[in-house]
């Protein structure tokens, strides 16, 4: 008599293999989503570097006079990231991209630096930027925070790129 698999054993083996294959297929969508998020995070980091570096260069320029540095206002205002939110709904309502460009240009123009005040281009055309610059009057420190996202409603859930710049210019 020959030994063979019964129909029940074959069906059980097929079900186990199908479960394994479906689990692997489920991981593909997760991997795709994580890959896309990783690319966006890297693009946001590159964008942050291209925005923050000129600001740091302008603010830490040894030729900057204290009279200009000490009076730098907060951009867009002293509410920081809260400026962009609707207080009632908690949703982002103001356009962070246009405010970021204004803040960038205003700071560089205000300190009178030789750094170009033209807004850097994003490595990913779809990224929208958010920039907050906080400075207490007469403080030698300026705080710069940057976020970038494709979907403006997710702005506050994106990674924050942050630096502080200490006055290194000409005391008066």
- The answer to whether residues 58 and 108 touch, using CB atoms and an 8 Å cutoff, is yes
| Confidence (pLDDT) at 15 | 95
| Confidence (pLDDT) at 125 | 84
Give the DSSP letter string of 83-138.
Answer: GGB-TTT--B-S-HHHHHHHHHHHHHHHHT-SS--SPPPPSSTT-EEEEEEE--TT
Q: How many CA atoms lie within 13 A of 152 on its CB side?
A: 16
Residue 39 lies in a domain: no
Residue 40 lies in a domain: no
- CA distances (Å), origin 6, targets 3, 9, 10, 12, 74: 9, 5, 6, 10, 77
What is the number of domains present in the chain? 1
First to last CA, the chain: 105
- pLDDT one-digit tens code per residue, 66-110: 988 988 999 998 889 999 988 888 888 888 999 999 999 999 999
- Enclosing domain of residue 52: 47-166
Residue 132 lies in a domain: yes
State how far the Cα of 149 lies from the Cα of 75, in Å rounded to an integer: 19
Query: CB under 8 Å, gap of 24 or more: what pairs does 34-38 form?
Result: none
Other C-beta atoms lying within 10 Å of the C-beta of residue 122: 18
| Confidence (pLDDT) at 54 | 94
Residue 52 lies in a domain: yes
Residue 63 lies in a domain: yes
For the chain, 172 residues long, give each residue's pLDDT as a single digit of tens. Answer: 678 888 899 999 999 999 999 988 888 888 888 898 898 899 999 999 999 999 999 999 999 999 889 889 999 988 899 999 888 888 888 889 999 999 999 999 998 878 888 899 888 888 999 999 999 888 999 999 999 998 888 888 899 999 999 999 888 7
Mean pLDDT value across the chain:
90
| Confidence (pLDDT) at 30 | 87
Residue 65 lies in a domain: yes
Other C-beta atoms lying within 10 Å of the C-beta of residue 37: 10
Residue 136 lies in a domain: yes
CA neighbor of 102 nearest in space, from 49, 42, 51: 51
């Amino acid at each position: 008599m020959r030994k063979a698999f019964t129909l029940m054993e074959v069906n059980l083996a097929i079900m186990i293999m199908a479960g394994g294959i479906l689990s692997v297929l489920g991981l593909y969508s997760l991997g795709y989503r994580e890959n896309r998020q990783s690319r966006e995070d890297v693009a946001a980091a590159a964008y942050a570097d291209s925005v923050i570096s000129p600001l740091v260069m302008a603010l830490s320029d040894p030729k900057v006079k204290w009279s200009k540095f000490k009076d730098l206002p907060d951009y867009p205002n002293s509410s920081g990231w809260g400026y962009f939110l609707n207080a009632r709904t908690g949703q982002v309502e103001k356009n962070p991209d246009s405010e970021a460009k204004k803040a960038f240009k205003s700071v560089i123009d205000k300190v009178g630096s030789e750094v170009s005040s033209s807004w850097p281009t994003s490595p990913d055309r779809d990224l929208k930027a958010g920039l907050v610059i906080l400075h207490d009057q007469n403080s030698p420190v300026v705080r710069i925070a940057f976020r970038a996202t494709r979907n403006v409603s997710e702005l506050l859930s994106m990674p924050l790129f942050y630096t502080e710049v200490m006055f290194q210019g000409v005391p008066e």
